[in-house]
Structure 1
Amino acid sequence: MSNSAVSKSAARAASPPVSSSPGRWLALAVICAAELLVVLDNTVVNVALPSMGVQLQAGFAGLQWVVDAYTLTFAGLLLAFGHLGDRYGRRKVMMLGLAGVAVMSLGGALATDLGQVIAARAAMGVFAAAVFPATLAMIINIFTDARERAMAIAAWTAMAGFAIAIGPTAGGWLLEHFSWHAVFWANIPVAVIVLGLAYLFVPESKASHTGKLDIVGIALSLVSVTVLVWTVIEAPHRGWLSVTSLVGFAFAVLCFAAFIRWEQRTPVPVLNMSLFRIRRFSLPALSITVGYFSMFGFLFMITQYFQGVMELSPLQFGLHSLPFAISIAIGAPLSTMIAQKVGTTAVIVFGLVVMSAGMLIAGQVKVETPYLGPVLISMVLMGLGMAIVQGPATESIMSSVALDEAGAGSAVNDTTREAGGTLGVAVLGSVMASVYTTEVGPRIDAIPDFLMTQSEKGFARESVIAVIEMVKRPTDPAFAQQKADLIYTMKSAALEGFELASYVTVSASLAVAVAVAIFLPWKPARESVFFDWEAKSN
């Protein structure tokens, strides 16, 4: 072991906590509230899309960009804002983000056309990217005791997963009582309150040593992540092998290569590339990526199931998805504590296997399958599996990062989540849609135009959620049986696509589980901390 490795480890162990008073737990509560606001913004709007579509006369593609505009700017700017937080103050950057979310939410609430809504969502994503990496970076600076940090990170991960799962319930409740504008109005008082609490109770932290700002690195990271996410979002519509998609992927790869080369050569990089040589950093990051790939894909498909197959209202959908949220909230803190005793590797591998089991069960669901059975079991297993993976994986990632690099490390952790989630929706949604469209398309095309307009046919070809409007629409008794047969075919085709997509998820999760089992050290991190620092110093 090198002397530099020992000195670095000793310096890290001797670093005093930013806050040693009981107030650090109040600071954690405020930080988690900021995280909750940002993550809810990423999901709650989904249930408002049908209402927006009717009032704003928006097509399917336009409504998708209401969601994707937020994802695009959010994912693209995480690394940049994480680095800026390290340099100029993480609380300061987070507070700027909270203020921006409040202002841009007002813009969304007052929007009168689809373009204004999309612009507001894109701007909200920009400011949300300022909030999210700062939250986790501040946690590891406030909690320097290993056990307390693990508990704090467990609370952070539980909140992230819980917010994603609770979004449909919150959105459904708002739509039961108000118009779609409420999903924007609700952000404003919450953001203002959390902003004030952050000023009062969250201590500031930033890197102790900073050099010249890495403008080139920030620009390359922004372009590469943004182009990749945009290409993934558009690929299901333009074609995965279309010229646009191939050029987009190629350009993103070139930008990533240029980013990596630049970061290896510049004296003060926006991202220390040597972190990826640390197995306790890179392999947990890969696990989180595939975890969010599975979870977001699962949530996308279960949304189709609850609304299109079970024909539930938005609020009913949210209530039926609560077991998923509860499983995450329970599993995240427990798994992080267990990982402190048995090691991160065993817990992550177990979590990936549990996720695989949940997705496999979900893929076997049929139209007649009752909710109280395989559907409920699959949600609980998916939620527990996700919680079991992300808590210890996040703790491992952040424990491998020096305090001065906390923002950049947090941004990598967050970017893997966004990239995995975006890929999950795009890839698994594309698999599901290809099966669905192949089976349903010819039958939809054969329907006379006086029974269904071209726009209605287009929506029915793309999504089983079209069933909701089809059921409500009055039908001549002479065509009632044909309508019932078509609706059943649509539901069956969607679930066949769900089944094929589940096999993709199961394969990916098990492959990563094997990789983690082989390459990630099995002993607890406290026994191998010098290995990590030695790897970083080489």
Structure 2
Amino acid sequence: MTLAPAPKPAVAPPSPHPRRWAGLAVLSASLLLVVMDMTILNVALPAVSADLRPGAVELLWMVDVYSLVVSGLLVTVSALGDRWGRKRTLLTGFTIFGLASTAVLWAGSPGEVIAVRALLGVGGAMIMPSTLSMIRTLFTDARERATALGVWSAMASLGAALGPILGGLLLEHFSWHAAFLVNVPVMVVAIVAGLLLLPESRNPAPGRWDAFGTVLSIAGMVALVYSIKQFGKEGAAGPGPWIALAVAAVTLTWFVRRCLGRPDPLLEVRLFRSRPFTAGTLVAVTTSIAMAAVMLLMAQWMQLVQGHSPLETGMRLLPTALGALLMSPPAPWLAARFGTRPVLAGGLAVSGLGLGLLPAVPATYPWIALSLFLLGLGMGSLAIASVAIMAGTPPQKAGSAAAIEETSYELGGALGVAVLGSLAAVVYRGALPPAPAGGGLPGPAADAVRESLGGALEVARQAGAAGAELARQAKAAFTTSLEVTGLAGGLLMLAAALAVWWLVPRDLDVTASHH
């Protein structure tokens, strides 16, 4: 009697990590803190300026050095995490972030605050993509991963909203140092929890490290973000931004070609061959562009036009976070039920509609709150963008995918402030009467009025009773610039919605398991 050959055992899918949900809690909490920290500092900057009296250039570096360092290091640090270990990279990031936050106690000059901000950028660059790539490796089931990324997305939105509120609270009771020191206890908890709960993961076959590629990526990204920021501040007249842009174009083209030519590239550029991946990245960029610019202008409008304190302003910006929190967790379910394409494109369209409302409704808070809520609601459904980016990515390339997504957010933020911020400045100047306050202002004062709303209000304050009309004109001009910028951001998001509808296949379901 011959025995029939035994059937080959089916390859079992990798078993889910037993502590994955506890791990997600650590990752989400750390992301919440890093995002909060970025926004807290925006609120704290006036207090830092008043105390340390930085020059104009020093003040710019205080603001910009963080994003320059983060965008420069994202690619390198993500590749490092794939090789060295993502948990190790994340915990190192926590440590650097905590130490840099403590170092602020000894920062007594603008230069020292800039150094602290740069160190925070190093920590932030290690934390942000590590949280994303670890979710990709912790959650092997596609549906669970979609839920986890929904939670991750909601935490990012919540952090951006809570930052100004926490910053306002801290600054009302303590010195500006508190905006940094608040990180220290949270980082200690995150390190302990991370050591206990997170598994280590890395690329099993990472290949050789590309040292020259590392230099190209850092130089290219720093030059690109720097040029965008300079265009926003100086306009296109000076040579500086153009030189930086040329350096960025040469180094980044060289870097991409180098990555395409290597079997083990520093950044897996070939991921862009996937249309859902490209669509997810496009969503990340456009959302950041519109959000960064409108939130910056909205915060100024609420404080300078409406006269609210930083804390009151933070509270009034909450509808955005509320919308995102409501929509992020059910977004994967909606994508499974109705398809990825309608949820992604629909989310962009709803956000675009929210921004497009600004010029169409009266500039009173109930309408502004509705506009912000719609913006957040649309953003919440964009949790699916992260799922689309990570779903088609093999686990060993998770670091590359996370780096591309995080870089998209960084670049989008810089572009938003530079491009839409410049548009807002042009509209503001154009909306002022040719001779503000009936003319009669000396040259420097007239320049200050045209430069910014803050400058105009300062001139009006010094002019005494005669300044009331000037303040009214400047506030009306700024409100117009907010409305026009909102419309531009809304149109950009609607255009992106059409592009995403075209890019994403009709039958794509990013929440389906592909074992």
- TM-score category (smaller protein): over 0.9
Relative to structure 1, the CA distance from residue 364 to residue 309 in structure 2 (aligned partners, 3 Å threshold; closer, same or farther) is: farther
Q: Which residue of 2 aligns with 1:5?
A: none
Give unmatched runs, 5+ long, in structure 2. 1-9
Q: Which residue of 1 aligns with 2:483?
A: 499
1:16 and 2:15 correspond? yes
1:386 maps to which of 357, 379, 385: 379
CA distance in 1, matches of 2:437, 2:133: 51
2:365 maps to which of 360, 367, 371: 371
1:430 and 2:422 correspond? yes
CA distance in 1, matches of 2:191, 2:133: 17
- Paired residues of 1:307 and 1:465 also in contact (CA < 8 A): no
1:417 and 2:401 correspond? no
RMSD value over aligned CA atoms?
A: 2.4
1:150 offset after TM fit, Å?
Answer: 0.8
1:241 offset after TM fit, Å?
Answer: 4.7
Which TM-score applies when normalising by structure 1? 0.88
1:470 offset after TM fit, Å?
Answer: 6.7
CA distance in 2, matches of 1:173, 1:527: 40
Deviations 1:96-127 (A, max 9, x none): 11100111112234311212111211121111
Deviations 1:371-415 (A, max 9, x none): 12x2111100111111212x0010010011110011111111111
- Paired residues of 1:295 and 1:386 also in contact (CA < 8 A): no
CA distance in 1, matches of 2:365, 2:401: 40
CA distance in 2, matches of 1:309, 1:529: 51
1:297 offset after TM fit, Å?
Answer: 1.2
Relative to structure 1, the CA distance from residue 197 to residue 467 in structure 2 (aligned partners, 3 Å threshold; closer, same or farther) is: farther
Query: Please, which moves more after superposition, 506-515 or 97-106?
Result: 506-515
Q: Which residue of 1 aligns with 2:300?
A: 304
1:408 and 2:396 correspond? no
Query: Please, which moves more after superposition, 144-153 or 238-247?
Result: 238-247
1:31 maps to which of 27, 43, 51: 27
One-letter code of the match for 2:150?
A: A
Deviations 1:152-203 (A, max 9, x none): 1001011111111221111111111111111111111111111111111111
2:502 maps to which of 501, 518, 525: 518
- Paired residues of 1:93 and 1:134 also in contact (CA < 8 A): yes
1:217 maps to which of 213, 216, 219: 213
1:464 and 2:453 correspond? yes
**Alignment length, in residue pairs?**
505
Relative to structure 1, the CA distance from residue 407 to residue 527 in structure 2 (aligned partners, 3 Å threshold; closer, same or farther) is: closer
CA distance in 2, matches of 1:292, 1:45: 18
Give unmatched runs, 5+ long, in structure 1. 1-9, 534-538
- Paired residues of 1:293 and 1:421 also in contact (CA < 8 A): yes
1:154 and 2:150 correspond? yes
- Paired residues of 1:444 and 1:460 also in contact (CA < 8 A): no
CA distance in 2, matches of 1:35, 1:529: 26
CA distance in 2, matches of 1:254, 1:118: 28
Which TM-score applies when normalising by structure 2? 0.92
1:285 offset after TM fit, Å?
Answer: 0.6
CA distance in 2, matches of 1:467, 1:328: 35
Q: Which residue of 1 aligns with 2:6?
A: none
One-letter code of the match for 2:494?
A: L
Q: Which residue of 2 aligns with 1:68?
A: 64
- Once the two structures are superposed, the pairs formed by residues 232-243 of structure 1 within 5 Å of their partners are 232-243=228-239
1:483 and 2:467 correspond? yes
- Paired residues of 1:363 and 1:499 also in contact (CA < 8 A): yes
- Once the two structures are superposed, the pairs formed by residues 200-215 of structure 1 within 5 Å of their partners are 200-215=196-211
1:326 offset after TM fit, Å?
Answer: 1.4
1:347 offset after TM fit, Å?
Answer: 0.5
Deviations 1:134-155 (A, max 9, x none): 1011111111111111111001
Deviations 1:434-488 (A, max 9, x none): 2223455953895657xxx95x8766543324577678x5x67xx41x3111111
CA distance in 2, matches of 1:297, 1:241: 22
- Paired residues of 1:339 and 1:524 also in contact (CA < 8 A): no
1:236 offset after TM fit, Å?
Answer: 2.0
CA distance in 1, matches of 2:448, 2:73: 33
- Paired residues of 2:68 and 2:225 also in contact (CA < 8 A): yes
CA distance in 2, matches of 1:108, 1:120: 7
1:239 offset after TM fit, Å?
Answer: 1.7
- Paired residues of 1:311 and 1:468 also in contact (CA < 8 A): no
Identity of aligned residues (%): 35
Deviations 1:495-515 (A, max 9, x none): 222222223212221211111
One-letter code of the match for 2:286?
A: V
One-letter code of the match for 2:232?
A: P
Deviations 1:64-115 (A, max 9, x none): 4322111111111111111110111101001111100111112234311212
- Paired residues of 1:172 and 1:315 also in contact (CA < 8 A): yes
Relative to structure 1, the CA distance from residue 72 to residue 344 in structure 2 (aligned partners, 3 Å threshold; closer, same or farther) is: same
SS of residue matched to 2:357: helix
